[in-house]
Structure 1
Amino acid sequence: MSTPQASKNLIFLTILLAFILSASFVLAAPAGSLPGPRYFIKTSNPFWQKSLGVRHIFEGGFTSDLSGIQVALVKIFGLEIEPVEELHILPVLPEEVIAETIEKIIENPTAKPAVNISARVSPSDQTPWGIEVIYDNPLIASTSGGNEINVAVLDSGVLKTHADLKNRVKQCKDFTNAKTPIKDGICDDKNGHGTHVSGIILADGGNDKLGIYGVAPEANLLAYKVCGNNGSCWADDIATALRTAADNGSNIINMSLGSDNESFLIKDAIGYVVSKDVLIVAAGGNDGPYPVSIDYPAANKLVVAVGAVDEALLVPDWSSLGINSSTSPFVVEEKDMEFGGPGVKVESTWKNGAYAVLSGTSMSSPHVAGLAAKFWQAGALEGTRAQVTRDLLHQLAKDLWIIGDDNATGFGLPQIK
């Protein structure tokens, strides 16, 4: 039988616990800074969910941003916690930003200030070299394909008002907001990476057909912002976006992001997505020429991993390598690179409404994702369309680099034949 003093102590501890765990106790973070470290808390107890705050709920637990005091306290109470993996937009090498001024586009010095002059900035090439290579046509003037195919781009968001993308945006969601884990209708891209990647896949030249073209300009864009403006991305946000994309009708998902380590949250989400007959394409990484430098999630065998090639179809030193030479030839296994794609000095849409030239496997992956959208095997048996499309890409691949299933480009460069 408890004594009155013991009861008082229990009440005091309960109040103290609630006070410490409450968000009001934690000092506000400086403006613009990231939240405290994020953890996966291995419990489904509603008390802890309410006390700590829930970012996302998963099987066996939930994620939350915890202060140092909160981490210490939950450990005292015997809860198991695990840090959430932080991924990053794969580094790209900016070469130039193509931004002609309106004065150069419209030479009209007598125009009155009150006149609303609308002009657009033009790309240096409407069908950049990567498009010419994928289409195997150096004279191509425009592209086609992807009608009714939904491509989710998990990245830094998108400039949904860009002339070459605005007609393609079907969904727009932000998974990075500190207060609201999923915000519909918002996917602003202040980084530029996501806008560039999206354009490679499905830019449609704009209503005036003076803009740039992606591989599959009739496809629909599901723009899911999973990375902050600084390029960092939490694994739980990515995992939730993957599941959301699968549940919202995506056929293909592109992820031009990565980490040296595999996140169990993302791994589980990938399994769920693939079970929904969705094809996932990811950038292989920019950590070459070191062996076994391929990044996750591309290294997951359920994901199509893409390395980079340049305009001469040579592999740049920085493109990551898989372990293909140590695994069964032409059988995709863990840490294998599956394809090579255009990834050096690639021009595409940019966050300011103009165009930019970037390099990285971040650019290679969307070329393959776009080709998958163009050749999506909708006529295949339901439940097999993603795999049948993947198999077709293997058949379309042109052998590159070292003969056979090599560490840098796997099956080779998929091209339209």
Structure 2
Amino acid sequence: MNVLLLGSGGREHALAWSLSASPLLTKLYCAPGNPGIAALAECVPIAANKADALIAFAKEKNIEFVIVGPEVPLVEGIADRFAEAGIKCLGPSGAAAVLEGSKGFVKDLCEEFDIPTARYRRFTDPAAAKDYAATLGFPVVIKADGLAAGKGVIIAEDKQASDAAIDEMFDGAFGEAGQEIVVEEFLEGEEASFFALTDSEHVLPLAGAQDHKRVFDGDKGPNTGGMGAYSPAPVLTDTVVEKVIERILKPTVKAMVKRGRPYVGVLFAGLMIKDGEPKLIEFNCRFGDPETQVLMLRLKSDLLTALIAAHDKVLDQIDLRWSDEAALTVVMATKGYPGDYAKGSVIEGLEEAGAVEGVQVFHAGTAAKDGKIVASGGRVLNITATGKTVAEAQARAYAALDKINWPEGFCRRDIGWRAIGRQ
């Protein structure tokens, strides 16, 4: 079948890499794609949220299945538009994508359906938000309600920082996303990510991973969209995973049906785990980035078959096989990220890096210019490797990374430290 993948980042490169091996695939297109994806798919210069142009293209090329990578088109309802056009599209409806589009909606859902999460309240008034934050003690978590590209969460260590964060959000630091905010208690423990597919009735677990949100080694500095990840995550034991499925994922899927917002697609749960007890931090309505990069290297089953089964509501008829090996990805970012950064710097040594055993180099924020690969974003490359252990995968990833010549880039040097400390 002809398949159209929407997006242009490292997540989409990893998905394209997995999809390209499917026996069901006739031709893969990606809109808009990137230079790495171009080796696997025909890239189309249409932005991932331009529904009218994408639908016209899909009809022209007889696209039989559409996969949406990023969250913004989903929250804007692009899956509904493809459905109206009679084109199969995996992704929640706009009504269901509110699970990522509104943190306040998720918190209310958790409260109503007894899904474990942190204490919270929603606010549109800064004074009331500041007063409530003080009652929770410090540190405290301040979140923009809407989409903020993974950056709309501030952990405030004291009242001064909390008040400043609240003012910053209401003053427009995150645009419309911060017109309403959520103030919630700070949860201690270990963060992890868990992924599943759902057809609104059945839940098919995928796998877990652990992300590194802070920009610098030792989990220092501001939050980012993710500086690296690895899978499996030791904190996600079989017992913890069972609790995640039974106490968080399945109740959420049932709750969304009760709310008249049946959810079909990828469900990504951001978790905090303490003493073997998981609590929900947030939901995302799509594959994570950079977690997808490590998941795809471990997935042994056909991804396209699984995604079609979710759309067709027959998830109970399939299962998935995963490699026992570990996978780890290191994000190379442009200096200055997650703040201001320059674009256009030349990157060399990618072929040499990709030649290291067990390594795949996924492009995230790159462009082709005058026959060279240049940086075009904040997070630019995902150096991803497998190994018998997280330590071996880490060693391979950094060995490959050291072959890349890009003075304007940087990375964390401690990706996987928690897992390696347990080995």
TM-score when normalising by structure 2 = 0.28
Give the TM-score, by structure 1 length.
0.28
| Bigger helix share | 2
